Amino acid sequence: MVVIVPAVMAVFGYLLMKKLLWDLADEVLDGGDFLIVRTRNQEERVPLSNIMNVSTSILVNPPRVTLRLISPGKFGNEISFSPATPFSFNLFARNVVAEDLIIRVHNAKTARPGMIAGVGHE
């Protein structure tokens, strides 16, 4: 028991860290109609129009946003990052960064050529 319990705890800790932290991007910067993703000295520019889905997880610390891409890039078909958000006592509050990205991704996909997103004449 002295060896088995710590070994099981080590395996559990490894799997938990792999799932929650080790796949996070080091830095995600907003470039307007694209995002710059940096991980381990690599950088990729991801257009908002290449993002299929924006999801966020609740009740996870650190908060996590996952972008599912239409066309996989250097980092695969999913990019996860932890946005800088202010501390909140409301555990069920929406993630402001994720909500903003959802709207901007939708606008990038629905904007017609020659038309500014959200402004147009029908």
Q: What is the pLDDT of residues 74-113, one digit of tens each?
A: 988 999 998 887 666 666 677 888 889 999 999 988 876 5
Q: Answer whether the bond into residue 62 is a cis peptide, omega within 30°.
A: yes
Q: Look at phi and psi of residue 107 and say left if phi exceeds 0, alpha if psi is from -120 to 50, else beta.
A: alpha
Identity of the amino acid at 40: R
| pLDDT of amino acid 79 | 92
| pLDDT of amino acid 114 | 54
Range of the domain at 35: 24-110
Confidence band for 51, pLDDT divided at 50, 70 and 90: very high
Distances (CA, A) of 45 to 28, 35, 55, 62, 110: 10, 6, 19, 24, 20
The DSSP symbol for 93 reads: P
> Residue 31 falls within a domain, yes or no?
yes
> Residue 75 falls within a domain, yes or no?
yes
> Residue 118 falls within a domain, yes or no?
no
CATH number assigned to the domain comprising residue 78: 2.30.29.210
Alpha carbon 99 to chain centroid, angstroms: 11
Confidence band for 47, pLDDT divided at 50, 70 and 90: very high
User: How many structural domains compose the chain?
Assistant: 1
pTM above 0.85, yes or no: no
Residue with tokens 């939708």: 106
List the one residue out of 23, 24, 30 whose CA is nearest residue 47.
30
pLDDT digits (tens, 9 = 90+) for 11-35: 999 988 877 777 889 899 998 889 9
> Residue 117 falls within a domain, yes or no?
no
> Residue 93 falls within a domain, yes or no?
yes
> Residue 115 falls within a domain, yes or no?
no
| pLDDT of amino acid 48 | 93
| pLDDT of amino acid 121 | 42
- H helices of 21-119, in order, are 96-110
